[in-house]
Amino acid sequence: MPKFVFDFTEGNKDLKDLLGGKGANLAEMTNLGLPVPPGFTITTEACRHYLEHGSLPEGLGDEVNRHLAALEQRMGKRLGEPGDPLLVSVRSGAKFSMPGMMETVLNIGLNDESVHGLAAQAGDERFAWDSYRRLIQMFGKTVLDIDGDLFEDAIEAAKDAKGTKDDGDLDAADFRALVGRFKEIVREHTGRDFPTDPREQMDLAVKAVFDSWNADRAILYRRQERIPADVGTAVNICSMVFGNLGMDSGTGVAFTRDPASGQQGIYGDYLQNAQGEDVVAGIRNTVALIELERIDKASYDRLLEIMETLENHYLDMCDIEFTIERGKLWMLQTRVGKRTAAAAFRIACQLLDQGLIDADEAATRVTGDQLAQLMFPRFDEARLADARRLTKGMNASPGAAVGKAVFTTEAAVRAAAEGEDVILVRRETNPDDLAGMVAARGVLTSRGGKTSHAAVVARGMGKTCVCGAEELDVDVKGRRFTGPGGVVVNEGDVVSIDGTSGEVYLGEVPVEDSPVVLYFEGRLTDSEGGELVQAVHRLMRHADERAGMTVRANADNAEDSARARRFGAQGIGLCRTEHMFLGDRRQLVEKLILAGDAEERTAALDALEPLQRSDFEGIFEAMDGLPVTIRLIDPPLHEFLPDMTELAVKIALAGDGADPQDRRLLEAVRRLHEQNPMLGLRGVRLGLVIPGLFSMQVRAIAEAAAHRRAAGGDPRPEIMIPLVGAVQELEAIREEAKGVLAEVAEASGVDVPALIGTMIELPRAALTAGQIAEAAEFFSFGTNDLTQTTWGFSRDDVEAAFFSRYLDLGIFGVSPFETLDREGVGRLIRIAVEEGRRTRPDLKLGICGEHGGDPDSVHFCHEVGLDYVSCSPFRIPVARLEAGRAAIAAATG
Ligand code: PEP
Ligand code: MG
């Protein structure tokens, strides 16, 4: 039979799964010899059994009896004994911190008799009756489900009767009267008396804590924080110590260093003559912890000593809760403390310098997500104090954005085209708003949570977003929104939104670049950047040293390539050539599509080639000496043509006078129209169907490389064929490309070797990777399309339509477009890696879908043995850090 109860002397900090965070750490402190009030923990396993079967597991009662007896023996008193009662607290404590979400009951063991014993032992009648009323109040609320306001109202009434507003003015008789009143409330609302049997109190409280795992707020919190729903909570039963026994008692919280900056020092709050709940309730003002030195020097010194012990033991910043009972210090809780992203980097390096941890460990103490947070532009702290704060919504996608409020996609696109910065304000967004979201600096919505369309899409784009700002009344038709206090913001008025905090401001708040980005850009050296930048510099350097994979960029122009290189990219993993066909060049593509014969087609291709060539030259120059993977055109050609409906309307309106060119164009648009372009004439299929298209691109690549080589450069082109599903497709294009490369080499007299490889972005490609590798020198996993085709999801359609529902239902915890779906898509990748390498052991393997910049996906790529990940320039530092962390994790197990 499993063991369901652990004494604090039996557990340790590594048993969080079983004992919860609080129980595991209480045990750890107990074993360190720190002053923890004795007690025991009932495991999460018992909770899971209870939640599943609706009853406590067999044998639990006996085990609790044994542990309680041992506790009583150690304390020299019995639970609720009339003359000198042992009192206990019953506290929840899950594996993951869920602050305030579950229940706690203090002072278990008090009843009409033992209250006198407590009064006698403490020598304090008032304290005893106050403790008793606290028990009935907490028990009533959490175990018996009575509205807490009823108790609060009774206290208010007692104070009114006394003509005071301060709890401190209530005396023993008042609390005694309140106990009577509270018992009446219990009777009125439950039809039974408050249970006076101490053991019954304890058992009911344990069940209530278990039940609180499934309270609405706990469920909501778990969803938000992505905490699994089935792990359950442990229950800690701990002998009571009292911070409210007079001015020589008190309670406090502390951090072993500043959780915002990482600086060492005394950070915390203390409240004299109080219990922990009073601090949380904010009934009286706390004092800074440093004051404790004056109030109780001995306890203060002991506390600092313990904090040092904890840091040296946990090798990290800890937070603690403590109580002083008549000059004796007790530790009630500790855990590794939460911190800001900046503090995480600083603290990791501080601990490294103190010799507490090594560089590998330091790198594991920070995450790519934290680094990403440090890279967003932010509002100038100094100017924030003067800003006019309007409201606060959800911090859906980090960053700071300022612009004129606009209320429609059309207005956003129009204003952006005129060079205006705009914030798109909507009640909620839908797929039709996509263009507006792209054009805007930021997005603000009054509805929807962190998984709403606006939030999911904005995060995907790296666009600042505040969503669910419920105090705003958005009137799209009237082109305005109204905020708290009736403040009206009309279209064109400037607002500032902070996607990191969720704050919304009126008017312009100055934005500043992140110093971390300035450092990556090379505009700030590590020594100029202060402690934070230095910490980032050190940890990045170490991650680079340890990384097994390199990091490349998805970039399609020279400027982005140069920036990517400054950010540490070691090549280009994806140059999407279709991006070179936009703007003015769209007309040339139109000509290609409309070409009536081979001559016209050749003329159109000839016009495009020099433009492509010069683009490639720029990229090769920026990435000199590093590999540049150029993907031949992928999207269906109709994407380069005007909108079918608009064109049809134009022609219809012009009637007989319609431009013949427009008519030809409409015919082409109709011919090329596809029901599902994602699965239509695109990728390698285009190359096989449109004669000369891929050859033109390969020629441009080869000539650009030859020019660079002739100019003394070191171009390293890699030609990548998209959307291959069968090796035969690749073979045909490969032959064509080889021919063009040979022609250019001969004509130019310069031979530039170019690898030819393919993207793996269809399940069939993954499943036949062994064959495809015969014709490919490299594979790059296009996990955007591979995710779409594996799930049968068309991204543009599904994200807005039902992803928030899927997230709510827990079908996935995170969108498979954000973090690689290891079980499905990941399985295909594993197959392709294994079978591809079996055919061609030196096959180069990378990933270029957006997952290449996602921390968890980077770890997966390391695990399956890819050579590189490729991501957008801005994500490169994140991918570098995670590539290093993945290697360290693999090496240290
Ligand atoms: C992919 O499918 O993952 C990919 C990189 O190609 P694109 O996003 O251009 O379709
Ligand atoms: Mg693709």
- Options 3.30.470.20, 3.30.70.20, 1.10.8.100, 3.40.50.2300; CATH for 250-339 is 3.30.470.20
116 catalytic per annotation: no
pLDDT tens per residue, range 521-552 = 999 988 888 999 999 999 999 999 999 999 99
Q: Whose CA is nearest to atom 8 of ligand 1?
A: 784
The rounded distance, in Å, linking the Cα atoms of 883 and 363 is 11
How much distance in Å is there from the Cα of 378 to the middle of ligand 2?
Answer: 33
Q: Give the active site residue among 49, 453, 537, 859.
A: 453
The rounded distance, in Å, linking the Cα atoms of 847 and 94 is 37
> Six-digit token pair at 756?
């030819």
Q: In terms of Cα–Cα distance, which of 798, 822, 808 is closest to 226?
A: 808
How much distance in Å is there from the Cα of 571 to the middle of ligand 1?
Answer: 17
Report residue 460's pLDDT band, with 50, 70 and 90 as the boundaries. low
**Is 574 touching ligand 1 by the criterion CB < 6 Å?**
yes
The phi, psi pair for 254, rounded to 5°, reads -155, 155
**Is 760 touching ligand 1 by the criterion CB < 6 Å?**
no
DSSP letter assigned to residue 141: I
Cβ atoms of 826 and 860 within 8 Å: the answer is: yes
Average pLDDT over residues 679-701: 95
Domain layout of the chain by residue ranges: 5-239, 250-339, 377-512, 547-636+674-892
The rounded distance, in Å, linking the Cα atoms of 234 and 47 is 7
pLDDT tens per residue, range 349-369 = 999 999 999 999 999 999 999
Instruction: From 758, 784, 790, 796, give the residue whose CB has the most ligand 1 atoms within 8 Å, as the site to mutate.
Output: 784
pLDDT tens per residue, range 16-44 = 999 999 999 999 999 999 999 999 999 99
Instruction: Spell 579-618 as b/e; 16+ CB within 10 A means b.
Output: ebbeeeeeebbbbbbbbeeeeebeebbebbbeebbebbbb
Instruction: State which of 114-128, 226-240, 448-462 shows the largest mean pLDDT.
Output: 114-128
Q: Give the active site residue among 47, 465, 575, 848.
A: 848
pLDDT of amino acid 752: 87
**Is 849 touching ligand 1 by the criterion CB < 6 Å?**
yes
Indicate the pTM of the whole model.
0.84
Q: In terms of Cα–Cα distance, which of 130, 112, 128 is closest to 120?
A: 128
Helix (H, G, I), strand (E, B) or coil at 288: strand
At the topology level, CATH places domain 377-512 in Glucose Oxidase; domain 1 (3.50.30)
**Is 761 touching ligand 1 by the criterion CB < 6 Å?**
yes
pLDDT of amino acid 451: 62
Q: Whose CA is nearest to atom 6 of ligand 1?
A: 782
The rounded distance, in Å, linking the Cα atoms of 776 and 738 is 12
pLDDT tens per residue, range 6-15 = 999 999 999 9
| Chain-centre distance for alpha carbon 97 | 16
| Phi and psi based region of residue 544 (left: phi greater than 0; alpha: psi -120 to 50; beta: remaining) | alpha
Q: How many CB atoms lie within 10 A of CB 373?
A: 19
At the topology level, CATH places domain 547-636+674-892 in TIM Barrel (3.20.20)
Helix (H, G, I), strand (E, B) or coil at 815: coil
How much distance in Å is there from the Cα of 341 to the middle of ligand 1?
Answer: 31
Helix (H, G, I), strand (E, B) or coil at 217: helix
Mean of the per-residue pLDDT values of the chain: 92
Q: Whose CA is nearest to atom 10 of ligand 1?
A: 785
pLDDT of amino acid 282: 53
Pairing state between β 264-272 and 250-257: antiparallel
Residue 629, classified by CB atoms within 10 Å of its CB into exposed (0-12), middle (13-18) or buried (19+), is buried
Q: In terms of Cα–Cα distance, which of 883, 871, 777 is closest to 539?
A: 883
Cβ atoms of 254 and 112 within 8 Å: the answer is: no
The rounded distance, in Å, linking the Cα atoms of 615 and 707 is 12
Report residue 337's pLDDT band, with 50, 70 and 90 as the boundaries. confident
Q: Which CATH class is domain 5-239?
A: alpha beta
Is the fold of 377-512 the same as that of 547-636+674-892?
A: no
The rounded distance, in Å, linking the Cα atoms of 375 and 563 is 14
CA distances from 638 to 634, 643, 681, 878 (A): 12, 9, 10, 36
575 catalytic per annotation: no
The rounded distance, in Å, linking the Cα atoms of 865 and 867 is 6
pLDDT tens per residue, range 598-631 = 999 999 999 999 999 999 999 999 999 999 999 9
Cβ atoms of 87 and 118 within 8 Å: the answer is: yes
Q: Is the dihedral of CA 830, 835, 841, 845 positive or negative?
A: negative
How much distance in Å is there from the Cα of 738 to the middle of ligand 1?
Answer: 24
How much distance in Å is there from the Cα of 734 to the middle of ligand 2?
Answer: 19
